[in-house]
Amino acid sequence: MPRFNDGTMKVTLIQMDIAWGDAAANCRTAERLMLSAERSDIYVLPEMWNTGVTAEPQGVAEDSRGETLLWMQGMADRLDAAVVGSVAVKAQDGTYRNRLYFVKPQEKGQCSMFNLQWYDKHHLFSYGGETTNYTPGDERVTVEWRGLRFRLCVCYDLRFPMWLRNTDGYDVLVCVASWPDVRMHAWRVLLQARAIENQCYVLGVNRIGSDPVCHYAGGTSVVDSFGTATSCPDGEASVLTETLNMKRLRSFREKFPVLKEADVVCSGFGSADQGDDEEG
């Protein structure tokens, strides 16, 4: 099985169309695409990949032990890999969250049904009505997986560099999105900017197809710390498998110590590291 034992990690990004409100169909699509890819250490799905992005989660949001999470855990166990993707969730306190799950395979003998961490989207997209029914998260979340540190964010978060500022706390930024085709230039530039300024890899996963509000062209990409992007074909359901080279990244950080010389920022947000023009 893939392991972080030689300074590399294999990642697979899933660029898919999403059947509106049909979680079962979307699980089948995601499974087919994941199984078509090379075996990897982590598979990343788009924002609200199981239903499509909606400002009205009532009726589609699952609870914290819902069927979609069960499916993600099953795929993580089956592939011996992490499975990552955002889902509309009704939390135990009754609030709705745009929750990005990072699900790890369960170890032999593990008692818990789920082996996961999650990030609740902090920057809700008010322009698309997301603030009406969803509650924002207030904590940054970094997940360690097979020797790498992954910072989690969702779509609109990508526009806020201070929220994502790296103080040598992570190696890979994961951004899952439903980013419309009318702003694809911004998507590509922001992915590159976050990679360059934070000296990290960026995994940007966007959907294709259409929902009742927008059209989506994809642009799913792996971007290295130099800003060089490798991307899925626009508009096509596809998988992108790339190898992250941590020896190369660490060497670059040592030779060009941007992170050590960055300005200190006090954001005031929680604890660190824990329309037809819609952008979710």
* Enzyme catalytic residues: 47, 121, 155
Instruction: Answer whether 10's CB lies under 8 Å from 243's CB.
Output: yes
Q: What residue has token string 């029914």? A: 133
- Backbone phi and psi for residue 82, each to the nearest 5 degrees, phi listed first: -80, 145
The neighbour count for residue 237, using CB atoms within 10 Å, is: 18
**Residues 125, 227, 48, CA angle at the centre, nearest 5°?**
30
Contacts of 34 (CB under 8 A, 6+ apart): 12, 14, 43, 75, 79, 83, 239
User: Rounded CA gap, 254 and 42, in Å?
Assistant: 26
User: Rounded CA gap, 201 and 113, in Å?
Assistant: 31
Task: Report in angstroms the alpha-carbon separations of 111 from 15, 103, 210.
Answer: 33, 15, 40
Contacts of 28 (CB under 8 A, 6+ apart): none
Task: Report in angstroms the alpha-carbon separations of 274 from 53, 54, 104.
Answer: 25, 26, 16
Element (H, E) at 13: strand 8-15
Instruction: Answer whether 11's CB lies under 8 Å from 242's CB.
Output: yes
* 165's tokens: 């500022």
